[in-house]
Amino acid sequence: MSRILVTGASGFIGSHIVAHLISQGRFEIWCVVRRQPAYPVLGIKYFIVPDISTKENWQVALMGVDVVIHTAARAHIFNKAEKDSRNLFQRINVDGTLRLAEQAAAQGVRRFIFLSSIGVNGAKTENGQEFSELDEPNPHNEYAISKREAEEGLRRASKNTDLEIVIIRPPLVYGANAPGNFGMLMHIIKRGWYLPLGGIENKRSLIAIDNLIDFITICIDHNKAANQIFLVSDEGYLSTTELVSGIARAAGLPVRLISIPSWLLLALGILLRKTASMKALCADLQLDARKARNLLDWRPKISTEEGLRRAAVGRIED
């Protein structure tokens, strides 16, 4: 039975990974969490690491581990007092990741699966083009820069050791209890508020949490996944308007949208100092996920419509 170490196991993606691997019944699961869980799962071994940037010795946590699934990361700066955000991202997302990978290689871990971000490719696509694994990286903010630097360090490690690296760059991941922009949209829609997003005709790739977890599980064992970078997404694209409408319908709620031109939303974003958020709502972000499909024979297990339904009812299903 393969032993899997999941970092960030109490987070949105990490917790769903753990639940799915438990349902598989063919893995021994060890979890790295920031604090002791209130209701620990029987049979799972927990390692409490409040800050992975300061963890210098992973020897015990890596003992006998076959595969590390590394989802722990700093994605946002919530405290305005934390002015040195680049240093914070560097310590956690880069230094913490590479220290773990270095010790994993020394302990004989076979594979290291790293959850990166499509932000490594860039903030948006234009003129109907799609991001692919062959594109020159163009990270657009400090978080994406830190993910890119971690990727570079991991690829060096794969060349100098026997550790196999798998890098996954997902777009927005949605599902039950998702954080970030999707969670905010879900909250607003369920409260019945009107949104000025009825006139956005962009095209964005998304991925349901079920589909991402399914792909990660394939990467645990698939020989052809070794030392590869993958972009993964659901089939097709959604505009922001279609996403909001889809969430409302999935929740059985009326669609409350006001049509405002994208250029006006962008202007409002500048006035409200929310330029990045407005650009994310209005811009295209299209992924070419053919490599994952062709090399690993992977297909999204559920449709976007079904993914939104599961998000609305608040559960993940096998």
Angle ∠(223,289,205) on CA atoms, nearest 5: 140
Burial of 67 (0-12, 13-18, 19+ CB in 10 A): buried
Q: Which residues of 34-61 are buried (b: 16+ CB within 10 A; e: fewer)?
A: eeeeeeeeeebebbebeebbebeebeeb
Model confidence over 225-252: pLDDT tens digits?
999 999 999 999 999 999 999 999 998 9
Out of 3.40.50.720, 3.30.390.10, 3.40.50.1220, 3.40.50.1010, select the CATH number for domain 2-169. 3.40.50.720
Model confidence over 14-47: pLDDT tens digits?
999 999 999 999 999 999 999 888 888 888 999 9
**Can you give the pLDDT at residue 1?**
80
Q: Taking every pair of C-alpha atoms in the chain, what is the biggest distance, in angstroms? A: 57
Catalytic residues: 143
**Can you give the pLDDT at residue 316?**
46
Cα–Cα distance, 67 to 58 (Å, whole number):
14
Cα–Cα distance, 48 to 33 (Å, whole number):
5
Non-local (6+) Cβ contacts of 249 within 8 A are 255, 308
Model confidence over 246-302: pLDDT tens digits?
999 998 999 999 998 887 887 877 777 777 777 778 899 999 999 999 999 999 999
Domain ranges of the chain: 2-169
pTM, rounded to two decimals: 0.93
